[in-house]
Structure 1
Amino acid sequence: MPQVWSAPVRFVECDQQGVVFNAHYLTWADEASNSWWAAHGIPWDAVAARVNPVVKASTLDWASSARWGDTVSVDAGTEKLGRTSVTVRFTIRVDERVCCVVRNTYVATDGGRSTPWPDDIRAAIEADLPAD
């Protein structure tokens, strides 16, 4: 079940035409990631205390613009789980209209090197994987 985070688009997030500047889509995905981790029973601070997840890659696919005065909602769902990584898909919408899809790949690290997810964290993430 995707987790949802939402917020009104602030004036500071927009250019002079009232269109959201592209970097804020990544910020919203980052905000939504806290809800995604917590929904798995593993709040961010608990995960970070055991392994240090870092964003290895981000992709953004735009479909339409969010604008000042809109309220964006971000659905966060697990897309792929590897031995040391997980890819989370963040679909950013205004009402039912998709504005952007962000995919972040997080890698568990220890001492600056990738490390396997602890068994309990892996099990919690696996429970959210889509069926094949």
Structure 2
Amino acid sequence: MPIVPPVWSAPVRFVECDQQGVVFNAHYLVWADEAVNAWWEQRGVPWTDLTGRGIEYYVVASALEWRSSARWGETVEVDAELEKLGRTSLTLRFGIRVGARSCCVVRTTYVCTADGASTPWPDDVRERLSGS
């Protein structure tokens, strides 16, 4: 699989590692959460653009697939790709790697909401996300 340019990266901190010396599993979700903001920004949809319209998005599901362990002192890079754009939700695939070595794939589904209820993505947002 070709390497997608990262949207976020950071060195692995000691505090993110468990007693086995590898990154504790929950941190992969944190890194995906960090990357999602950059992903939206790259598509011209900053958080304030959505919230200014009364729209927010929430995680409804995440799944992690481990491939290898990231370790203290390494630098992780996270890329993000749109896998599915639905009427009120979208699924992103986050590839987390150290160099060319894949560590984890996170798939997260987000739902678009307004006033606490699911709502369709605005047409202009859908256009920016789908590239059409």
What TM-score results when the alignment is normalised by the length of structure 1?
Answer: 0.92
Matches within 5 A, 1:60-75: 60-75=64-79
What TM-score results when the alignment is normalised by the length of structure 2?
Answer: 0.92
Matches within 5 A, 1:34-49: 34-49=37-52
Determine the C-alpha separation between the residues in 1 that align with 2:6 and 2:28: 16
Show the counterpart of 1:7. Answer: 10
Question: Which amino acid letter does the alignment assign opposite residue 115 of structure 2?
Answer: G
Question: What per-residue deviation string (whole Å, max 9, x for no partner) do you get for residues 72-107 of structure 1?
Answer: 000111110000001111000001010000011110
Determine the C-alpha separation between the residues in 2 that align with 1:114 and 1:81: 14
Show the counterpart of 2:28. Answer: 25
Question: What per-residue deviation string (whole Å, max 9, x for no partner) do you get for residues 45-87 of structure 1?
Answer: 2223321100011010111110101100001111100000011
* Displacement of 1:14: 0.5
Structure 2 residue runs without a partner (length 5+)? none
* Displacement of 1:2: 5.3
Aligned length, in residue pairs: 128
Structure 1 residue runs without a partner (length 5+)? none
Determine the C-alpha separation between the residues in 2 that align with 1:77 and 1:10: 25
Q: Does 1:76 align with 2:80?
A: yes
Cα pair 1:25 1:102 within 8 Å, conserved: yes
CA RMSD of aligned residues (A): 1.4
Show the counterpart of 1:127. Answer: 131
